[in-house]
Structure 1
Amino acid sequence: MSKTIRLSGIAYESLVNGPGMRRVFFSQGCNHNCKGCFNPDTHDFNGGEEMDMDELIQDVLGNSMIRGVTFSGGDPFERAYQFSYMAKIFKNNKLNIWCYTGYTFEYIMSHLESNNAWKELLSNIDVLVDGRFEEDKMEDGLKFRGSLNQRIVDVQESLKHNKVIKFKEYEIK
């Protein structure tokens, strides 16, 4: 029996959703409804298309140009069970994983004990771009995020220290 995930779309070769050539999976479904969201089509949980996760995974692993995977949205944490399944396989295959969410790292951490899928997803993410998009904090030239309030979090270091450690590889404006 195949496993499926509801996606709003896929960017097959992206250079703007994290470092290097990446495959980007856009989750279908978001409860944040941020004013000015650049992707409002992803909010409806019933929109998009059901896709076979194993086929999506094999397609990524079969492309030697892909250096990493990004989960965007919608909000991937709304489909954490499915994204954690994919993330674990990608991580085992040495791919770098970035994830965008409207939730803050602190909010996610405070809900891990009651949400195993969030815990599993977070444990397989390298970088989390967290926080809701805030239209009044949008600024041209921000790298890998839409508004100044969003942080680029080094997830594994943050988990080790139990506090937010910003990803240092990039200068953050």
Structure 2
Amino acid sequence: MKYANIKYYDIANGAGIRTSLFVSGCTHRCKGCFNEAAWDFNFGSEFTDSVIEAILESITPDYIKGLSLLGGEPMEPANQPAVLELLRKFKKRFPKKDIWCYSGFTYDIDFLEGGKAYTDISDEILSLIDVMVDGKFEMELYDVSLRFRGSSNQRLIDVPKSRSAKQIVLWDE
């Protein structure tokens, strides 16, 4: 996997101060996307063990609330193995910090067996994510007043509660 950018001390992509990883590769190609360069799976730098360590090290201070994954598309099937490796290491080192994932895929459709984003490791990835902002960005539904999302069709999903309830439970700070 390649990545387009890492933002340290990010306050725009999830609650609190976070480190945000922008992965490369996205097949959604949303009109009005803020990060078109990251559509290309070959854009950016190699995602290596040293990059993972730098990300994890940046999250060590107590005032850092967690990790956010954006793109590109972190849940593209081709990106899922590297994402899973990062999330496993994150949760082992920081069991009380949270993970947010922004995905153009729809949580309750595309991650079901046979769905566009479903792989044999999708369920484990979802088990490690705390909040998923799901749904493609839709320019026609863009609303600058929305918190942590770009268009009104996107949902902030509390993944652990949704998995437990077996239905969508929206995140509420």
**In the alignment, what sits opposite 1:90?**
90
Gapped regions of structure 1 (runs ≥ 5): none
Q: State the Cα deviation string for residues 73-102 of structure 1 (Å, max 9, x = none).
A: 000012111111111222231221000000
Q: Which residue of 1 aligns with 2:152?
A: 148
Q: How far has the Cα of 1:107 moved from its partner?
A: 2.1
With over 3 angstroms needed to count, the CA separation of the structure-2 counterparts of 1:52 and 1:157, relative to structure 1, is same
CA distance in 1, matches of 2:130, 2:34: 24
The answer to whether the 8 A contact 2:19-2:55 is kept is no
Quick check: 32-41 or 59-68, which moved more?
59-68
- Secondary structure of 1:8's match? strand
TM-score, scaled to structure 1: 0.88
CA distance in 1, matches of 2:54, 2:82: 12
Distance 1:142 1:61, change over 3 A: closer
8 Å contact kept, 1:57–1:86: no
Q: Distance in 1 between matches of 2:10 and 2:166?
A: 31
**Displacement after TM superposition at 1:108 (Å):** 3.4
What does residue 105 of structure 2 align with? 103
Structure 1 position 121, deviation (Å) = 1.1
Q: Which moved more, 1:155-164 or 1:81-90?
A: 81-90
Cα distance in 1, alignment partners of residues 55 and 61 from structure 2: 10
Alpha-carbon distance in structure 2 between the residues aligned to 1:56 and 1:155:
26
Q: Which residue pairs with 1:14 in the alignment?
A: 10
For residues 130 and 64 of structure 2, the distance between their equivalents in structure 1, rounded to whole angstroms, comes to: 16
Question: After superposition, what is the alpha-carbon deviation per residue over 1:21-41, rounded to whole angstroms, capped at 9, x for unaligned?
Answer: 100000100000001101101
Q: Does 1:139 align with 2:135?
A: no
Q: How many residues align?
A: 165
* Structure 2 residue identity aligned to 1:104: T
21-30 or 90-99, larger mean C-alpha shift: 90-99
CA separation in 2, counterparts of 1:163 and 1:62?
A: 33
TM-superposed deviation, 1:120: 1.6
Q: 2:69 matched to 1:66?
A: no
Deviations 1:103-151 (A, max 9, x none): 0011233138961221121110000000000000001211000000000
Counterpart in the other structure of 1:36: 32
Q: Structure 2, unaligned stretches of length 5 or more?
A: none
Provide the C-alpha distance between the structure 2 equivalents of 1:36 and 1:166, rounded to a whole number of angstroms: 25
**Deviation of the 1:58 alpha carbon:** 3.8
